[in-house]
């Protein structure tokens, strides 16, 4: 991990993401790319344009750079290589362009409490970032003075097309020497025996060079509640999920992760796209 992108609107939630990203960057000797997007028509920033709105665009650019100056003075960024970027795109398009241009390895985004997590992951712009991103996206909901991942829950039905995301998840786990907790949630409508579930998880895990994991079967009313309740029971530090491109956020089970999990998960969530 050499390059980390943090989209920012200079809010408290965005700074929470930046603080986590700074810890990751120091751990990995990575560079930080801070992105602020301005949703203004491109002609407003064309120096050859006679558009009377040009001063408005320049004002917002100057304001963004002033905010950047304040951020760069923060102690937690000391010693890090931080790049500031202002783009005139819709937020999710700006993220896509910067990731492509700079070969970004990880996106870190912030979210406030339970209610706004729906807006963060299912809302118009951020949902598009999470849904379309080719690289992992880490979403944090609060400040983490010390960001650690000791216990990492990876819930799945453990079919073959989830092997590539799992390998990426194990690579992230290795950064923290974290234990992965492979999880199958049994519900009344989707039941698998303990014997079959354990065999499936053990066979699946062979795809990665990673042996610091446990296998777990958890019974609950819904998959989402099972993931949350199991994560609570082991004091998990992180929950892993997959995205399926245009299909949006998807569980490792049949169908989509419901808003219930996204709205109520109190822990950081990291997403990996299924190729």
- The answer to whether 158 and 184 are in contact (CB under 8 A) is yes
* 63 and 176 fall within a common domain: no
Examine the fold and report which residue of 95, 115, 140 is the final residue of a domain before the chain moves on: 140
* 184 and 117 fall within a common domain: no
Mean per-residue pLDDT for 32-40? 82
pLDDT-wise least confident of 48-62, 86-100, 222-236: 48-62
- The answer to whether residue 121 is domain-embedded is yes
- The answer to whether 108 and 27 are in contact (CB under 8 A) is no
- The answer to whether 110 and 138 are in contact (CB under 8 A) is no
Count of structural domains within the chain: 2
Phi, psi dihedral angles at 273 (to 5 degrees): -85, 135
What value does the mean pLDDT of the chain take?
82
Mean per-residue pLDDT for 5-26? 91
pLDDT given at position 80: 94
- The answer to whether residue 18 is domain-embedded is yes
pLDDT given at position 125: 58
- The answer to whether residue 145 is domain-embedded is no
Strands 238-243, 249-250: pairing kind = antiparallel
* 17 and 136 fall within a common domain: yes
Strands 179-186, 151-155: pairing kind = parallel
Q: What pTM did the predictor assign?
A: 0.84
* 167 and 265 fall within a common domain: yes
Q: How far is CA 71 from the centre of its chain?
A: 21
User: Can you tell me the distance from the alpha carbon of 23 to that of 224, in angstroms, rounded to the nearest whole number?
Assistant: 30
Cα-trace Rg, the chain: 20
Kind plus residue range of the DSSP H or E element containing 58: helix 54-72
* 213 and 87 fall within a common domain: no
* 56 and 165 fall within a common domain: no
Examine the fold and report which residue of 140, 166, 190 is the final residue of a domain before the chain moves on: 140
**Could you list the residue range(s) of the whole structural domain that residue 125 is in?**
3-140
Examine the fold and report which residue of 113, 140, 167 is the final residue of a domain before the chain moves on: 140
């Amino acid at each position: 991990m050499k390059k980390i992108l943090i989209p920012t609107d200079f809010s408290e939630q965005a700074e929470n993401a930046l603080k986590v990203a700074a810890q990751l960057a120091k751990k990995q000797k990575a560079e930080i790319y801070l992105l602020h997007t301005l949703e203004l028509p491109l002609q407003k920033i064309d120096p050859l344009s006679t558009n009377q709105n040009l001063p408005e665009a320049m004002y917002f650019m100057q304001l963004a750079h002033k905010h950047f100056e304040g951020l760069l003075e923060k102690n937690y960024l000391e010693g890090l290589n931080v790049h500031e970027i202002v783009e005139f795109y819709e937020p999710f398009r700006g993220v896509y362009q910067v990731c492509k241009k700079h070969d970004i390895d990880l996106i870190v985004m912030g979210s406030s409490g339970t209610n706004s997590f729906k807006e963060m992951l299912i809302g118009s712009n951020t949902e598009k970032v999470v849904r379309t991103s080719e690289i992992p996206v880490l979403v944090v909901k609060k400040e983490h003075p010390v960001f650690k991942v000791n216990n990492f829950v990876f819930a799945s039905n453990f079919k073959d097309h989830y092997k590539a995301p799992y390998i990426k998840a194990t690579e992230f786990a290795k950064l923290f020497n974290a234990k992965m907790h492979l999880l199958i949630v049994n519900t009344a409508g989707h039941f698998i025996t303990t014997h079959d579930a354990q065999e499936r998880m053990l066979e699946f895990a062979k795809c990665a060079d990673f042996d610091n994991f446990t296998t777990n079967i958890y019974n609950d009313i819904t998959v989402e509640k099972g993931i949350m309740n199991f994560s609570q029971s082991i004091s998990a530090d992180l929950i892993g999920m997959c995205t399926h491109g245009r299909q949006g956020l998807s569980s490792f089970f049949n169908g989509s992760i419901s808003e219930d999990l996204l709205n109520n998960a109190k822990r950081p969530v990291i997403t990996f796209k299924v190729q």
